[in-house]
Amino acid sequence: MSAPDPHGPHHVRDLRDRFAATLLALRDEAAPGPHVSGPHVSEPHVSGPRVSDPYAYADDLLARWAEPQRRYHTTAHLLAVLDHIDTLAEYAADADVVRLAAWFHDAVYRPDRSENEERSARLAERALPEAGLNDDRTQEVARLVRLTTTHAAGPDDRNGAVLCDADLAILASAPDAYAAYQAAVREEYGFVPDADFRAGRAAVLEQLLALPSLFRTPYGVREWEHRARHNLAGELAALRT
């Protein structure tokens, strides 16, 4: 489940093109709303001109995903989630809406804060009407972003199931990739003392393992569930040692 390096020119270009294609497939023909200005993080905003060039939004989002405080929640994670959504697209009610939600779901990210999902959802609510999306699609993207706080998609939430499964697919990685994921998460939380991190991480793993199923799509249950539980149990045992 490891992804190619997304920081090279080819992968940045690929991500920009994928965002533009998704936005153009979803947005209305109506003219975009007025430009909204604001600071980069304290007031969520994706900068973009009145002409609503989709690449301007892609570039702003990619800059956010490349911020220096990130170690796991990087463009590599974004690329992996988008690829997993492609794999799961048949299970979504609207796969392009899920793809947009993936772009926004960690667009605002500070590891020392707890409101990242809410701030990311508000970012989507500000940016997407400007980019030409109607209110229904904007609100669905924002709902999906907020859902990644708990990953508790309901039984009839097809879009939510796809986004949550794609976001959690890293848990089913091969051993080397899972070890790299663990190390990146620890590095993101480098400001947390080791004992506190181990206790907090163990609590998260216990909560995940207590779920009836980590994944909700048929593909996720069939292809990822067993390996993910094996990885989580192994990490938990190591934390308790």
Q: Are 26 and 100 spatial neighbours (Cβ–Cβ below 8 Å)?
A: yes
Give CA–CA dist 214/159, Å, rounded. Answer: 16
Residues 6+ apart with CB under 8 A from 195: none
* pLDDT given for residue 110 in this prediction: 95
Average pLDDT, the chain: 89
Tell me, yes or no, whether 225 lies in a domain.
yes
Q: Residue 7: CA atoms inside 13 Å, Cβ hemisphere, count?
A: 4
* pLDDT given for residue 64 in this prediction: 97
What are the tokens at 112? 């020392």
- pLDDT tens digit string along 129-166? 999 999 999 999 999 999 999 999 999 999 999 999 99
- pLDDT tens digit string along 5-43? 444 556 788 999 999 999 999 986 443 443 333 333 333
Tell me, yes or no, whether 4 lies in a domain.
no
Tell me, yes or no, whether 113 lies in a domain.
yes
Tell me, yes or no, whether 31 lies in a domain.
yes
Tell me, yes or no, whether 136 lies in a domain.
yes
Tell me, yes or no, whether 209 lies in a domain.
yes
Residue 180 has pLDDT above 70, yes or no: yes
**Based on the structure, what is the number of domains in the chain?**
1
Tell me, yes or no, whether 1 lies in a domain.
no
Here the CATH number for the domain that contains residue 101 is 1.10.1300.10
Tell me, yes or no, whether 3 lies in a domain.
no
Domain residue limits at 74 = 9-240
